[in-house]
Each structure stands twice: as structure tokens, then as C-alpha cells.
Structure 1
Amino acid sequence: MSFKTIVVHLDTSPKAHPRLEIALRLARQFGAHLIGAFAVFSPDPRSLYVMAGTAEYYRTHEELRTERRAALERLFHAELRRAEVSGEWVAIDEPASLAVPHAGRCADLIVAGQDNQGDPESYVGDFFPENLVLSCGRPVLLVPFASNESATGSRVLIAWDGSREATRAVHDALPFMLAAKKTTIVTVNGMREFERARIPGVDIANMLARHGVRVEVANIEAGAGAPVGEVLLSQVADNGADLLVMGAYGHARWRELVMGGATRTILRSMTVPVLMSH
């Protein structure tokens, strides 16, 4: 098993280039075809006529965006040649919340960015990462906007609780683990809600070991009521991990998106790239 088609979401934010660099490294590592899916948020121009001057601002802003898009497309093709990676640029006019999941369903892996409230250009839709993970049907590698990681996947940390979502994430991340120097399975308080093994994490560790993964198991006793997301972030730091693998818990309810507590914490405060599956 390997990643042979990777889709990376690109936009006009400054973090699009670092996200592209990570996707290029992965495409080269796995011998994958890389698709650059360019999609941004574009408000309805008619709505901007409500306030005086906004229509002219919109036109000026669109011109700037067009320039940035052209520069990013040139960079994308230049980086493909430099990395000796096959790929293609796809500019999509429909909203990114629809375009990226659609493009990603025919891929092995989607690379996208964490929400960054400090950068308006990174906004492509409300709850974009959450909706992408829940709707695309493929593993999503979310890159934190504050990340300075030079590598992704050499030291893998797996958040394991025996659930369907965690099982999906573990199997989706196998290509990373097979190439990793170290993989650590972490359970928090035995993850008793789902885990049924006598020793938490041992069954999934045995399965991975049969694939040839170098794996360790750690059960963290954090006390009743401890926020699992914060415990996982601490374990990422303590283990020097450069990739966190976890299931994404959530569902769409009438007019709102309901995410699990650990998922919300990681989406908000991730410090390394996170591979999420639902």
C-alpha cells in the first residue's frame, strides 16, 4: 500500500507555499502524482453593493488575487520540475468546501491547511477542515499554520481508542508508518469507551508489527476528566513526533457541525501535521 495520488489544496494565503512543499516531499517520497487544487472563497459581488465603495474594493482585490494565483501556478510547475514529480494544476471556480472534497475522492491522500483566523486569505469557508475530513471519504493531512517541520512522518504518534474512526486512520496511515523511524501507539486511560483488549493498544500494535512497522505502545493514565486532546498534544511534544494520526469524531446536525472534544482541541491547537480519517 502506498500513496500514488495526492491532492494539495492551494489558495492565495502565504501558507500555501509551505503546504505545497510538504505535498511535494510526500509525492517524491511515495512516487505519487500530485494534483494542485486551487480554490478560494469568493463572495457574491452583488452583496458588496450594499456598502458604498465595497464593489471597487472587490474588483481591486480580485486583481491582486489573480496575480497571486498566476505566480503560485508558475511556482507549482517549477517545483514539480525541480522535485522530478509528475503532477497537474487544477483551478476550480466552485467553493473550496465543495471542490476540494470532490477532487480528493479520487486521491489516496489530501493535504490541506489548518484554519488561521489571523490570515483572511486562508479563509475558504466556515469549518473548512472539519467539513473536508467528514465529507471527503479519504485521509486528510492537515498542516498547522505555525508549523516549521522539515519532515513529516519519521516519528509517528497514533491516538488509539479502538473506535471505527481510529481504525480507519491507522490503516490510512500505514504508508507513513512503514517508512517511519518510530511509531508510538498512545492510549489515554486505556481509552475504555472502545478498547476491549487486556492490554490497551496491544492488538493494533501486533497487526502493525506484522506489516513490518517498528511500533511501541504507551498507555497514559491522565486521571478522570482529563482533556484527551491536551494529553495528546503533550505526548506529541514528549515523543518528538512529527505526525499525529487520529480518527476524527463528528457529524453534521441541523444547521451546525458537532465535533468530538479531542478533535476540536487538535484542530484548534495542532503543533505538527495531523492525519485525520472519519
Structure 2
Amino acid sequence: MPFKTLLTVTGPGHGDDDLRLAAGLCEEVNAHLSVLVLMLAAPPSGGEYAAVVSPAWLEEREAEMEDLERRSSAVSKMLSQSRVSADLSSDYPEQSWADEVVGRRARYADLTVVGPEMLATHLLKQKVIAGGLFSSGKPILLVPKAAPVTLKPKCVVVAWDASLEASRAVRESLEILSAADEARIVMIDPIEDERHHGAEPGADVATYLSRHGVKVAVDRLPSSNHFIADVLRQHAIDTGAELMIMGAYGHSRLRERIFGGVTKSLIEEPGLPILMAR
């Protein structure tokens, strides 16, 4: 499907680089830009000395709300000078439901763009990515620092593990894939049986994509005792890919939280722009 609305999230401590990046992508595909300015509210004070620290906490919240208002004003001015159509909203949620706030906003966009400034944060990045992946039903685009980004790449790699999440990512990216000069389906240590990749790993997804006019190549790679995320990143470099497409969190959230995984590794060190869907 075409991307007609892109969402990006910014915070009071950010500059305008992520906004310019998202605006540039909007220009490229003739899309609308939606911006959410987000400030995580200071947690309420408590404990034996709550009566003493409560005024300080209230002052902190007032200061944060002023910061949020200043950042919103600055973003509004920047958007007014942009050549793309745009809308702006802001929110000041508690940390515990910030991802739901992001997810609700992302439901009205086709893609959430997470730029280098957001990726350099810690807690806010987690909330934005969690909201985009688990609470919106839409894909996200991770853009690391200094990585050229385009929604019209010539070479794309698809991290394929035959999962529901990978299938969703492919479906969300059909317009990108069909316009690319080359789409490489990459499988690491594929299992050849009907419950996994079938008798010929990659054949089914390649046939499906070719019917959509995608120029497909299939790469079956051994992990050779390396981390799967590292193999994917290196293969993307070796093939000159401008974008990676993958499903996110194929295992349960609890398992991923305990053991980490490919998704977590690529979020921490994308290496190149990555479109993720769940």
C-alpha cells in the first residue's frame, strides 16, 4: 500500500533533524507529515516523605509542561516553513501508558519514522518503538545516524523467516518492493519442512512477490555460529541494500525481554534503515 501519512515523534530535548528527515520522505512520496511532541511526565512522589517532596514534584511537572509547550511552538514554526502538508499534536503521559499514546496516534498514519535523534534516547525511544509496533497495527521505519534513507530504494533485503510477522512486513512493503530494481529474500539457516520454509526455502515467498511484479532473488545463508542480526547486517552491506524489511518480535514479548533476539539487536544497531512490522 502507498504511504500517504508519515508520523514522527519528537521530544523537548530534540533538535529538528528527525523532523527534516521525515519531511524529506514525505516530499519523496507525496505524503502528509504528522508530528507528535511527547514529554514523559515525572513519576509521582511517594513514600514516608511524600508531603515534603510533593511541592518539588509539582514544580517539576510544571517545568516539563512549559518545556513541552516551548518545543511544540518551535516545531509549529518549523512546520509552517516546510513544503509538505503537516499536522501537530502534543501529549504529556505517564511513562506507563506512553506507548499506548504513541500507538493510538500511529493508527492514523501509514508509517512511523523513528529517526537518529529518537534512536539516541533511551526510555522515550523504547516507548515510541513499543507503541509503533504493538499498539498501532502499522509498520515503523528505523533510521540510524548518517544512513541515507529513501522510500524508493533500488535494492532491498527482506529478512524472511516464514513467520506471520515477516509476512505482514512484506505485505506492508509491496509498493516499495515492486518499485525496486532488486529485492533479495534472505534466510538464515532455513529449515526445509512444511511447518517452516517448505521443501524449497524461499520459493513460495518469491513466487508470491513475483506475481506483484517484484524482481526477486533468494539468498539462503548459514549463520556459521554468528549472530543472525550480524549476518543480516553484513549481507545488506555486501549487496548494497538501501533498506531492510523484516517482521518484529516473532517470539513472545516475555521471551524477547528475557533473551533478547534479532529484533532487539537490530533496534540497538540498525546499520541501515529498517522497516519493521508486526
Over 3 Å counting, the alpha-carbon distance change for 1:52 and 1:267 in structure 2 is same
Question: Are the aligned partners of 1:157 and 1:183 in contact in 2 as well (CA < 8 Å)?
Answer: yes
Structure-1 residue corresponding to 2:178: 178
Stretch moving more, 105-114 or 52-61: 52-61
- 2:23 paired residue number: 24
User: Which position in structure 1 is the counterpart of 2:205?
Assistant: 204
SS at match of 2:207: helix
Superposed, 1:35-184 pairs within 5 Å as 35-44=34-43, 46=45, 50=53, 63-79=66-82, 82=83, 85-95=84-94, 96-113=98-115, 119=121, 123-124=123-124, 126=126, 128-144=128-144, 146-154=145-153, 155-184=155-184
Aligned with 2:252: secondary structure?
A: strand
Query: Aligned-pair distance for 1:258?
Result: 5.3
- 1:139-186 per-residue CA deviation (whole Å, 9 max, x = no partner) reads 111222x23315344121100011111101111111221232322111
Task: Compute the displacement of 1:125 (Å).
Answer: 6.7
CA contact (8 A) 2:37 2:68 kept: no
Partner in structure 2 of residue 232 of structure 1: 232
Deviation at 1:40, TM superposition (A): 2.2
* C-alpha distance in 2 between matches for 1:65 and 1:272: 31
Identity across the alignment (%): 29
- Cα separation, partners in 2 of 1:135 and 1:237, compared to 1, 3 Å: same
Report the equivalent of 2:216: 215
Contact 2:161 2:197 in 1 (8 A): no
Paired residues of 2:102 and 2:131 also in contact (CA < 8 A):
no
Alpha-carbon distance in 2 for matches of 1:191, 1:36: 42
Q: Tell me the TM-score normalised to structure 2 length.
A: 0.81
The letter for the 1-side match of 2:36 is A
- The answer for unaligned runs of 5 or more in structure 1 is none
Cα contact 1:115–1:129 (8 A) shared by 2: no
Tell me the amino acid that sits aligned with residue 93 of structure 2.
Answer: E
8 Å contact kept, 2:186–2:219: yes
Residues 104-158 of structure 1 deviation map (CA, whole Å, 9 limit, x = unaligned) = 1122222224796864xx64275542353122211111222x2331534412110
| 1:6 and 1:110 in contact (8 A); partners too | yes
> What 5-or-longer segments of structure 2 have no aligned partner?
none
Q: Does residue 247 in structure 1 map to residue 250 in structure 2?
A: no
For normalisation by structure 1, the TM-score amounts to 0.81
Query: How many residues get paired?
Result: 268
1:128–1:150 Cα change, 3 Å: closer
AA matched with 2:215: R
**Structure 1 vs Structure 2 CA RMSD:** 3.2
Counterpart Cα distance in 2 of 1:191 and 1:40: 45
Matches within 5 A, 1:263-274: 263-274=263-274
1:87 partner amino acid: A
- The one-letter code matched in structure 2 to 1:190 is P
What SS does the aligned partner of 1:267 have? helix
Q: Is the 8 A contact 1:41 1:125 kept in 2?
A: no
Q: For residues 52 and 192 of structure 1, do their structure 2 counterparts lie closer, same or farther at Cα, with a shift above 3 Å needed?
A: farther
Residues 186 and 218 in structure 1, CA contact (< 8 A), matched pair in contact too: yes
For 1:52 and 1:117, locate their aligned partners in 2 and report how far apart those are by CA, in whole Å: 33
1:245 CA drift (Å): 0.7
Judged with a 3 Å threshold, the aligned counterparts in structure 2 of structure 1 residues 34 and 117 are, in CA distance, closer, same or farther, namely closer
Q: Which residue of 1 aligns with 2:5?
A: 5
* CA apart distance, 1:68: 3.3
Supply the AA of the counterpart residue of 1:204: V
For residues 180 and 11 of structure 1, do their structure 2 counterparts lie closer, same or farther at Cα, with a shift above 3 Å needed?
farther
Paired residue secondary structure (1:23): helix
